[in-house]
Amino acid sequence: MTNIISSEGNIQTKDGTLIFFLKNIPPQPKAIIIIVHGVAEHAGRYGYTTERLNKFGYGVYRFDNRGHGRSGGERGYVQSFMDFVEDADLIVQMAHVENVRLPVFMLGHSMGGFIATVYGAKNPDQLNGQILSGPAVIELPLKDVRLLKRLPFNLLPKLRVGNKLGKIISRDPAVVEDYQTDHYNLKKITLKMSGEMFIKGPAWLQNNINKYILPCLIIHGGGDLIVTPKASEWLYNNISSQDKERKVYAGLYHEILNEQEKDRVIEDIHVWIEKHIQK
């Protein structure tokens, strides 16, 4: 789509961290979509998804979570998982101010799906709906997570562990290679961030998931080896939303927006958003 207005910049959080953002806005957008990326990656990996959403007439805001990509903060570290949620709110409020009267949706993947879910539970009146892709909302059935539960991550917050996810994010070898060579992707993350995101965060959701009432589309790869489909099943069964839908794509790995079938996934997102623009 031609005439896309693209820009980038930084917004400062209350603790002084600079959050890097990208905006890609078509002429007369019908809605705004805010993309929240997953652990150890960055917003730049959602370029193709952004292009497709732009073609549908949606403006897209993307940002790097603190400690990731081109945002500030110590690499792979967060003091509290709520810091990610509060940072996301800065982007939501920016989108509202710059796009008065337009519906605003949030698309969160993996850790970004967790951040989006917490955001939705805490802020039910700020969004028109959410798309949650492979959301990491329960404890992951990974060996490293089981080990993490036995480690005092609050006492060893800066100890770093390797990012071993690259080989199983997608069935597409090109995606795997790009992930592993992308210098903005984190090669290590701290125990503190791991504990916040994969232990403390899911525990918070266990106690607060009933507060989630937003319209939502939950999407998941049936062959996801990182966040198994049990996570999205739990989410679907426990939220209080009356308007909810879940789609599982047989055989697809974790990054369903980077699988060869990605156009089908993005079209399903498109159809869902179109329905909810009218509501």
CA separation, residue 29 to residues 59, 168, 182 (Å)? 6, 35, 31
276 is catalytic: no
Catalytic residue among 224, 232, 241, 276: 224
- Alpha-carbon distance of 269 to 53, in angstroms, equals 9
Encoding tokens for residue 234?
């739990």
**Residue 120 near residue 83 (C-beta atoms within 8 A):** no
Pick from 117, 109, 110: nearest CA to 82: 117
Helix, strand or coil, per DSSP, at residue 214: coil
Encoding tokens for residue 136?
């990491």
Catalytic residue among 64, 68, 110, 220: 110
Catalytic residue among 37, 68, 109, 254: 254
List, as one string, the DSSP characters of 63-127. Answer: EPPTTSTTS-SSTT--S-HHHHHHHHHHHHHHHHHHSTT--EEEEEETHHHHHHHHHHHH-TTS-
144 is catalytic: no
Task: Give the CA angle between residues 85, 268, 278 to the nearest 5°.
Answer: 75
96 is catalytic: no
Walk across the sheet containing 244-249 and list its strands: 5-12, 18-25, 58-63, 31-36, 104-109, 129-133, 216-221, 244-249
Encoding tokens for residue 44?
């730049």
Catalytic residue annotation: 110, 224, 254
